[in-house]
């Protein structure tokens, strides 16, 4: 019997999608938790800022729906972000009863700084823990992760 050739896909055992999914979930979850450990903004606040920066002003109700939380929970998050100057309230252009929330310049800066810190930690880990060939393999795999998302 000839030895298995890992370079030949036909020689590799079939992939169990559920096992792969579990391993992927575990690895991504661990990475995300480690990256969040040093965050200055709590996850719920960073998520709201991210939405406002990406998609523009929203009402508290819209944010709650997008984040799938109760209105009361979002109101607390909005209050904290407003108190720290990371978001501001604006009157709705066509409906005076509504108040829109928008990221301030300080909020956008804080969000981008947190993202830059995370990306820096990932880049450092790539250099410290992966060979150049492994880095290229991971780079190719990013497209696959985007397709899964």
pLDDT digits (tens, 9 = 90+) for 17-69: 999 999 999 999 999 999 999 899 999 999 999 999 999 999 999 999 999 99
Query: How much is the pLDDT for 113?
Result: 96
Dist CA 119 CA 103 (whole Å): 22
**pTM here?**
0.81
pLDDT digits (tens, 9 = 90+) for 99-136: 999 999 999 999 999 999 999 999 999 999 999 999 99
Taking domain 41-122, whether its CATH number is 1.10.10.10 is answered by: yes
Query: How much is the pLDDT for 3?
Result: 58
Query: How much is the pLDDT for 6?
Result: 56
């Amino acid at each position: 019997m000839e030895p298995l050739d890992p370079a030949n896909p036909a020689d590799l055992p079939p992939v169990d999608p559920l096992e792969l999914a579990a391993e992927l979930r575990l690895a991504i979850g661990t990475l995300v938790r480690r990256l969040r450990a040093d965050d200055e903004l709590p996850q719920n606040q960073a998520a709201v800022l991210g939405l406002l920066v990406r998609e523009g002003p929203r009402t508290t109700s819209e944010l709650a729906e997008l984040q799938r939380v109760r209105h009361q929970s979002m109101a607390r998050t909005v209050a904290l972000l407003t108190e720290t100057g990371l978001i501001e309230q604006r009157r709705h252009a066509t409906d005076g009863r509504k108040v829109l929330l928008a990221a301030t310049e300080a909020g956008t800066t804080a969000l981008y700084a947190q993202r830059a810190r995370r990306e820096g930690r990932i880049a450092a880990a790539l250099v410290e823990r992966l060979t150049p060939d492994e880095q290229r393999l991971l780079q190719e795999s990013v497209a696959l992760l985007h397709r899964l998302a």
